[in-house]
Amino acid sequence: MRLFLPLLALAAAHAARAHEGHGLAGASHWHASDVLGFILIAAVATGIVWWRGRK
């Protein structure tokens, strides 16, 4: 329990910082990790289509 509360506080602080635009009103932006996730999803989808199409 002694370790749980500080870790919970750190997690809450991280979530508070991760908002749209990081304080810029009405502005959103991309991070490299967001783009990497979309590339990974596209690669997996391509692999599935390729795997199912080979006979």
- Look at 4 and 18; give whichever has higher pLDDT: 4
**Residue 55 to residues 34, 46, 52, Cα–Cα distance (Å):** 34, 16, 8
What's the per-residue H, E or C state across 10-47? HHHHHHHHCCHHHHCCCCCCCCHHHHHHHHHHHHHHHH
- pLDDT of 50 above 60: yes
Q: Which two tokens stand for residue 20?
A: 């749209």
- pLDDT > 80? residue 46: yes
